[in-house]
Structure 1
C-alpha cells in the first residue's frame, strides 16, 4: 500500500503536459528475487522514478527500456536472468538466482482505465481486489497488452469466462498467478494478482509510548487512528503522522470506528478501568486482532472480573486477544516495544510465526504459481 501511495504521489507532482510516463511491473518470478510479482516502478522520460522492481540492480536497465517504451508508445516484456552471475548481460553480479519478467507499458493519462487510475481507485476505496493484466498476446486475440480485468469481491459480467476461475482462485488464496491461455486467436499471457489494503491500526491510549508506535506504523504504510477519553492527551501536534485522532469514551468508541478484517486494535492507555471497558466492547465486534499492553496478570484479572459480572466470551473471542502483546524481542524502550508490537501484528495478518528465517524450511516466500497452458477455447 505504501509503495502504491508513493507512486500516486509522484504521479500527481509530474506535469503531464511536458513529461511522459511508463509503469514497470514484475509479472513473473522463477527462483529467488528481491521483489515479488506485483512490485511496481513508475518511470518518467526525464529519468525520475518511484517504486522498485529489485534491490537496485535492475532499475538502471529498466529506465533505459522505459525510455524506449515511451518513445515508441509500445509496451514490452523484459526478462532478467540472474541465475548465472558470470553470464549476466548487465555486467554485475546480482546473486539473486532467479528469473524475473518485467512488463513495461506507457501511461496514457487520458485513458480512465490506465493502471494508475486503477491504483488510485484501490487506494480510495480500500477494498481487496484482484487485477488480471494481459502483458503479452497474439494480435488475433484482440486483447492488447495492458488490458486489465478487475474483481472486487463479486465477479462481474465483464470478466471473460476463461479467466474467471483463476481470478476466483487468486481472490481466495491470495497467491499471484502467471498463466498462458490458448484462445481462438492465439496465446495470451496474463498476470493475476490480489492487492490488499494496508493494516488499519487503532490505538486506544495517547501516552508517550504511543508516539513511536504511531511513527513506525505510518512509516510502513499503515493507517493509524488514536483514541482516548482524555481530550488533553489528543493534541494533533503530538501525533502529526496519525491518520485520525478521535476523542471518545470507552463505551462509545467502538461505535465511532470502522472495523474491517484488516483492523488491529492495541490497548495501551495504562488505565486499567478504561482498557477493560474498551476490551469488553471490542470483543463484541468482529475485530480480528486485539493486543493489550501490560503483564499477563492484568489481563487475567480482567477475565476474572468478567466471570464475576456474568460476561461470558467464547474461546474463539478470547483467542483474538494477545496479552502480553508483541514478539519476544527483548524490547525495553518505548521504540523497541513499538517494534515488537508491530512485528507481531504483521506476523498475525501474514499468518506467520515470527521466528528466525534461518530456521525456516524451504524458500522465504511462497513460489508464484505459473501454468504454461491454462485454457483451450
Structure 2
C-alpha cells in the first residue's frame, strides 16, 4: 500500500473509534498465481459493513466484509482463502488464475502493539509487524532493533525477530508470509517511509507532478528561488524550500531521494544537477532532450565540476516513459510511471503478451 492509502485508512479508523464503532483490518497475507494486489494490502471494515481501501478490483470485498463482520462480533482472528480461478462452481469465477489468503483481525484501540503499529504507519517509519496467521498475538520490530510484544512460543518468537530484521535489511522490503521450522506460518508486514521526491523548479509543469506524486504516496520537496511560484496555495502537499542556487548546500538530500530537475533555466539547472548528483540522490532526472543534459554536463566540466562513474549512472535523460505525453499532466504521468518502474525493478514496457506473473520484476535497476 502506498502512503495515500494508509492515510485514508487511518483517518477512517480514528473517526470510527471516535464515534464508538468497532473495526476489523483485513490484510492480504498470501498470493499464488495472478491477483490484483500483493501481500501487505489492507482494507478496513467497520461494524456497519462500510469499508475503506480495497484488496482487489472489487471482486473480493463483499466476501471479506462478511468475514470481517463475524470477526468483529466474535473477536477471533480469521484466515480466509479465495480461489480466483475461472471455475465458478468451486471458486469465485473471477478468472485471474490465482488465489489469495486474507487475514482478518478485530482492531482493539487498547492493544499496545497494534496501537504502536498504527503510529508507525501514521509516521511512515521503517518497521515490521510479525504475527502468526491464525492468532492475535504479534511482535513489532523497529529498524533500530527495538521490539514490542511477545509470541507465546519462545522459538517462534526468536524466528519472528530474525525474519523481521532480515526484511528490514533489504533495499526494498516488502510484506511476506514465511514458514517457521515448526511449520507454523507467520506474516511479516512491513512499513517503509514514503519515497522522497525532490523537484528542482516550481513552474507550471511542476504542479501536476507534485500533486500526482503526493497521491501516489511520495514525500514531495520543491526547491525554487522565486517566492511568487513557491507558495503553499500552489503546492498544497509539499515541503517548500526558497533557496537560490548558491544556497542549495543548506538542503539535506533525503536518503534514497529521486530528484527531477525542471527549472527551465540553464544556469539553475546546471547548478541543481551538480547538487543532486553530489548530494547522493539515488535517481536524478533532467527534463528535456538528452542533448540538454549533455550540454549541462559539458558546462559543469568546463568549470571544473566532474562526476564519478557511479554518480553519472544515477543520471536519467530523457525522463519518463514513451507514451506520447504532451500536456503537463501527461508528462507528470510519464515521469511518475518511470519512477515507479525504476523503484520496483521493472522495465516499464507493455504487459500485452507477457505470459508470466504480472507482478514479477523484469529487470534490476542500476544505482
Q: Normalising to structure 1: TM-score of the pair? A: 0.86
Q: Is the 8 A contact 2:160 2:186 kept in 1?
A: no
Contact 1:123–1:197 under 8 Å retained in 2: no
| 2:143 pairs with 1:147 | no
1:162 aligned to 137, 144, 159, which one?
A: 159
Distance 1:16 1:236, change over 3 A: closer
Q: Is structure 2 residue 331 aligned with structure 1 residue 329?
A: no
Flag structure 1 segments of 5+ consecutive residues without an equivalent.
137-144, 368-377
Task: Give the match for residue 135 of structure 1.
Answer: 133
Structure 2 partner of 1:40:
42
Q: Deviation at 1:199?
A: 2.1
Q: How many residues align?
A: 350
Distance in 1 (alpha carbons) for counterparts of 2:323 and 2:7? 30
Q: Deviations over 1:247-294 (max 9, x none)?
A: 111222342344111x21111111110111111122221210111112
- Is contact 1:16–1:109 with CA below 8 Å preserved after alignment? no
Once residues 51 and 254 of structure 1 are traced to their aligned partners in structure 2, the CA distance between those partners, rounded to angstroms, is 40
Per the alignment, do residues 71 and 302 of structure 1 end up closer, same or farther by CA in structure 2, a change over 3 Å counting?
A: same
Cα distance, 1:360 vs structure 2: 4.1
- In the superposition, relative to structure 1, how do residues 172 and 362 fare at CA in structure 2: closer, same or farther (>3 Å)? farther
**CA 1:196–1:254 in 2, change beyond 3 Å: closer, same or farther?**
farther
d(CA) in 2 for partners of 1:84, 1:337 = 38
Residue 168 of structure 2: aligned partner: 171
SS in 1 for 2:158: coil
Describe the SS at the equivalent of 2:295. Answer: helix
Q: From 246, 271, 284, give the equivalent of 1:251.
A: 246
Helix, strand or coil: the match of 2:133?
A: strand
> CA–CA distance in 2 between the matches of 1:33 and 1:83?
10
1:217 aligns with 2:207: no
Is contact 2:270-2:297 (8 Å) kept? no
Match runs of 1:295-310 below 5 Å: 295-310=289-304
Structure 1 equivalent of residue 351 of structure 2: 357
**Greater relative CO, 1 or 2 (CA 8 Å, sep 6+):** 1
* 2:187 counterpart of 1:204: no
Q: Which residue of 2 aligns with 1:234?
A: 230
Which residue pairs with 2:153 in the alignment?
Answer: none
